[in-house]
Structure 1
Amino acid sequence: MRIAFLVAPQGAEQVELTEPWKAASDAGHEPVLVSTKPGKVQAFDHLDKGDTFEVDEVVGETSVNRFGALVLPGGVANPDFLRMDDKAVAFVKDFFAEGKPVAAICHAPWTLVEADVVRGRVLTSWPSLRTDIRNAGGTWVDEQVKICDHGSNQLVTSRKPDDLKAFCDAFLHVFAGEPG
């Protein structure tokens, strides 16, 4: 399955991009780096610059129909940039409209809040997002990983880099169509 990894041109938490990418690739999926601009994206290790990664597809030039699932890496700046980009927000919203599974870790649910897709859902995130999630109509829980079946698609969320193993295991099960 082709899996879109949506990140802004800068600010993605590197380990929250590379570990899920490796897990998806090792499971036989095709991870595809999608961003709002062509070229390279600058990842971060907390507040320090990390590596750069080549963009495969640009959000305004691709379609949700080209993918089976979506992964949203965190990082404080990454989802903040994405939620200010109308095409990125529409891209995320379209995964929900099409009933395709979505996985988001750490600060990434900010983009989900902007896309107005958390209402009625139970999810987790970095703790500072709990008020935003609640204000957007979602229920926030402090759990390592949360799988929410709501409507026609599944949403997998996780809190932080320390939860990456559980996050990757959960989204791989969900993306394979297995019960959470």
Structure 2
Amino acid sequence: MTKRAENRTLAILATDGFEQVELTSPKEAIENAGGTCKIVSPNDQRIQGNKHREHGDWFDVDVKLDEAKAEDFDALLIPGGLFNPDALRRNSKALAFASAFFEQKKPVFSICHGPQVLISAGLVNGRKMTGFSAIQQDLKNAGAVVTDEPVVVDEGLVTSRNPDDLGQFNAKIVEEICEGKHAAQRESVTA
């Protein structure tokens, strides 16, 4: 097994109600490639996942959002679920944290409903993206160029639709975090 992602650290921005497998599966992929993952959350100590609509497991928070800095990480993952993105998109510190990764040209990964956070941060206009079928129109309304594919890659921004796509999504996450900064990563394209 190669350790391609050695010395790379992925920030996972999440709060209660994230779709559990959308956090655990990418985390496992990065760790299997030799990287490190840190859960960043507005919660102090623990967050609870969801397994579809049922409560899932509890996970320790590694870094409180108030103390997190994008410069301490190589990339950002925003998992979906119904409640996680909805709470994060109303949190100004979460939006600023996500925006900082774009400003620093670092890879950003988001799956399912996770791109709603990027919509609220004003980061999707002109970007090629996908997301869960229920938010694809929201992405279009915010100016994204949306296709219904398992994984869409746009200069360091990697989006995916749902847990069925995790195999392809995880492979792209590992590839992109290993590539590092993307000179063409941008916040959005102005009209």
Q: Normalised by the shorter chain, which TM-score bucket?
A: over 0.9
Report the 3-state secondary structure (helix = DSSP H, G, I; strand = E; otherwise coil) of the residue aligned with 1:120. Answer: coil
- Tell me what 2:177 maps to: 175
Amino acid of the residue matched to residue 5 of structure 1? I
Aligned with residue 70 of structure 1, among 60, 64, 76: 76
Structure 1 stretches of 4+ moved >6 Å: none
Report the 3-state secondary structure (helix = DSSP H, G, I; strand = E; otherwise coil) of the residue aligned with 1:31. Answer: strand
Matched, 1:37 2:43: yes
Counterparts of 1:99 and 1:126, CA distance in 2:
25
Matched, 1:132 2:110: no
Shift of 1:137: 1.0
Aligned with residue 52 of structure 2, among 46, 49, 61: 46
Report the 3-state secondary structure (helix = DSSP H, G, I; strand = E; otherwise coil) of the residue aligned with 1:176. Answer: helix
Please list every run of 5 or more consecutive structure 1 residues that lacks an aligned counterpart in the other structure: none
Aligned with residue 168 of structure 2, among 166, 169, 173: 166
Shift of 1:60: 1.3
Amino acid of the residue matched to residue 173 of structure 2? F
Aligned with residue 90 of structure 1, among 96, 107, 115: 96
Counterparts of 1:144 and 1:52, CA distance in 2:
28
Count of equivalent residues: 174
Shift of 1:167: 0.2
Shift of 1:130: 1.3
Amino acid of the residue matched to residue 83 of structure 2? A
Matched, 1:12 2:18: yes
Shift of 1:38: 1.0
Task: Note the alpha carbon deviations across 1:78-106, whole angstroms, 9 max, x for none.
Answer: 10000011100110011111110000000
Counterparts of 1:3 and 1:175, CA distance in 2:
8
Shift of 1:76: 1.0
Task: Note the alpha carbon deviations across 1:130-180, whole angstroms, 9 max, x for none.
Answer: 12111111111100101012xxxx10110000000000001111111189x
- Tell me what 1:55 maps to: 61
Higher strand share goes to which structure? Answer: 1
Report the 3-state secondary structure (helix = DSSP H, G, I; strand = E; otherwise coil) of the residue aligned with 1:125. Answer: coil
Aligned with residue 28 of structure 2, among 11, 22, 26: 22
Matched-pair identity in %: 40
- Tell me what 1:2 maps to: 9
TM-score (norm 2): 0.89
Counterparts of 1:62 and 1:166, CA distance in 2:
28
Counterparts of 1:37 and 1:161, CA distance in 2:
24
Counterparts of 2:43 and 2:93, CA distance in 1:
11
Shift of 1:31: 0.3
Aligned with residue 81 of structure 1, among 58, 65, 87: 87
